Amino acid sequence: MNFKQQFKEGLLTQNPVTVQLLGMCSVMAITTSFFNGIGMGLSVLVILTLSNIFIAALRKIIPNKIRIACFIVVIATFVTVVDLILQAFVPALAESLGVFIPLIVVNCIILGRAEGYSSKNGVVASAIDGICQGLGYTVILIVMCVVRELLGAGKFGGGILNGGEGVELFSNHFAALGMALPVGGFLTLACVIATMQYFLSKPKKSEKKEEVAK
């Protein structure tokens, strides 16, 4: 177990959104406000971490032939708990995210980490993996939310700051309203992925130049 390596992978080299390209539907659909991004990101982080821990603890007794079904049952249990908590304590967020909270059950990020990591590693390592991958997902959501909300509405922090109205940075008459539409999600995600891939490719290019020089 290497915490630094897992943290780097979750945030950068194996980021679930910009590198593994998982969970695209929710990423593009709910990233219209900072409020949504924080809520969805933290929900996925909690569910992913708890699912990883539980699956890692049971990995030796779960029959191989029905492991996927067992993983889904575990994930669905935690999704239900989180969904009920949001409805009870943050109803505005639950209403804003809508069906995308229940759909976390089939989110490829969570099922992928269950199959690819927690079913093969210990509880502590799986917990750290869940936290790191969840943070990587949350960071990308927040970045997209800030860009889309700022350019699409001319404000920041809707649902949280200034009584839920957000802080207006410039008039919405000058906003690119298309950024709040699905096309804005596609364009923003494409730019974020391209930027991430550019910075990830720089060390590889430097290594190739050094090899050629030798």
Q: 3-class DSSP state for residue 19?
A: coil
What's the confidence (pLDDT) of residue 209?
A: 59
What's the confidence (pLDDT) of residue 126?
A: 95
Place of tokens 């949350």: 138
**What is the mean pLDDT for each group of 10 consecutive residues in the chain (214 residues)?**
86 92 87 89 95 94 92 95 95 90 89 92 94 95 90 78 70 80 90 91 66 58
Whole-angstrom distance, CA of residue 158 vs CA of residue 30: 13
What's the confidence (pLDDT) of residue 133?
A: 95
Residue ranges per structural domain of the chain: 3-145
Whole-angstrom distance, CA of residue 19 vs CA of residue 166: 31
pTM for this model (two decimals): 0.88
Q: Which two tokens stand for residue 73?
A: 């049952």
What's the confidence (pLDDT) of residue 214?
A: 58
Whole-angstrom distance, CA of residue 75 vs CA of residue 127: 14
